[in-house]
């Protein structure tokens, strides 16, 4: 097994959800409105328009960098994927790298 695999099969609830939503595979998704609304509520950040979702962190980071461009800084952890700094720089964002401390 690979390190990100689970030896246990999906639960019945997961299988039911997969079956339910697979039947809607012929429709465009709702842009995550339900999920974004719930995240906005839980994190107290107002409207769902304040939440950005994507297919992995690279897509989210690239979208954010493209929108903010050189008008704002783009933040990234110092010990992070090197592509984040590269993409932000290419898109004209001022890169601000920071380090986390556990002390």
Report which of residues 70 and 83 the model is more confident about: 83
Report which of residues 71 and 80 the model is more confident about: 80
Indicate if the pLDDT at residue 77 is higher than 70. no
CA 51 to chain centre: 9
Q: Where are the domains of the chain?
A: 56-103
Q: By CB neighbour count within 10 A (0-12 exposed, 13-18 middle, 19+ buried), where does 4 fall?
A: exposed
65-85 mean pLDDT: 63
Contact 54, 46 (CB under 8 A): no
Indicate if the pLDDT at residue 59 is higher than 70. yes
pLDDT digits (tens, 9 = 90+) for 4-13: 788 999 999 9
Indicate if the pLDDT at residue 80 is higher than 90. no
Report which of residues 37 and 75 the model is more confident about: 37
Tokens 């952890």 sit on residue: 77
- Cα 18 from Cα 31, distance rounded (Å): 18
């Amino acid at each position: 097994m690979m390190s990100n695999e689970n030896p246990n099969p999906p639960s019945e609830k997961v299988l039911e959800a997969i079956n339910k939503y697979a039947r809607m595979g012929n429709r465009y998704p709702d842009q995550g409105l339900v999920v974004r609304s719930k995240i906005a509520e839980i994190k107290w950040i107002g409207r769902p328009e304040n939440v950005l979702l994507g297919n992995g962190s690279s897509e989210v980071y690239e979208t954010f960098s493209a929108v903010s461009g050189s008008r704002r800084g783009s933040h990234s952890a110092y010990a992070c994927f090197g592509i984040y700094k590269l993409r932000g720089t290419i898109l004209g964002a001022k890169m601000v790298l920071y380090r986390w401390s556990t002390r």
